[in-house]
Structures are given as C-alpha cells and as structure tokens.
C-alpha cells in the first residue's frame, strides 16, 4: 500500500490464539470429481482468530482472503526471526 494513502497505522502482531487457529490442511472438495487435492486453512477456524482474513462470497460461504493471510504469515516470520536473534545473542554471551 502506498504510504501516502495510509493513516493511523500500527504494527501487526500475531497472538498465540491466532497461531493455534492457523492450521494448514490438505483437502478435496466435495463436489469436485477430479479428485484434485487443495491446500489451505478452514475459514471458520481462522475467522475465530482473525475476522479480517475471512469474507462471505455471494453464495454465503466463508472464504479465506489468502492475499491478506500473507500479512499474518509475515508477522509470524518476523516474530520467529526476533526469537532466533535473542537466542543467538544469549548464546554469544555465555561463551
């Protein structure tokens, strides 16, 4: 997003509850005769943790907004990166 269009921004952090509800799955669609396997997350589970990532389609089904999901995943990666740096720095101090 262009920074000139943004107001009142804050850093997005991921809660432990959000992590617990973000469960990757492999699945087949009930009405798909091709037996194609898909990857994703269950929209209703994700909605409990982060309603901004789930929307209703025109038929009323819940859908994950996968482009927005990348923001949550990026926040999780950054948090892990911070944890690794802390652990690495603690290991250097002990030597």
Which sequence spans correspond to the domains of the chain? Answer: 3-94
DSSP 3-state of 39: strand
Assess whether pLDDT exceeds 90 at residue 2.
no
Model confidence pLDDT, tens digit, residues 25-57 = 999 999 888 989 999 999 999 999 899 999 999
Number of neighbours of residue 19 by Cβ within 10 angstroms:
13
- pTM for this entry: 0.74
Burial class (CB in 10 A: 0-12, 13-18, 19+), 75: middle
pLDDT at 70 over 80: yes
């Amino acid at each position: 997003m262009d920074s000139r269009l943004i107001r009142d921004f804050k850093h997005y952090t991921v809660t432990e509850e959000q992590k617990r509800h973000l469960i990757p799955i492999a699945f087949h669609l009930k009405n798909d005769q091709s037996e194609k396997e898909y990857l994703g997350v269950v929209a209703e589970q994700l909605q409990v943790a982060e309603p901004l990532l789930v929307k209703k389609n025109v038929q009323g089904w819940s859908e994950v907004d996968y482009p927005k999901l990348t923001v949550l995943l990026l926040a999780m990666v950054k948090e892990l990166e911070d944890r690794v740096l802390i652990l690495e720095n603690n290991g250097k101090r002990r030597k």
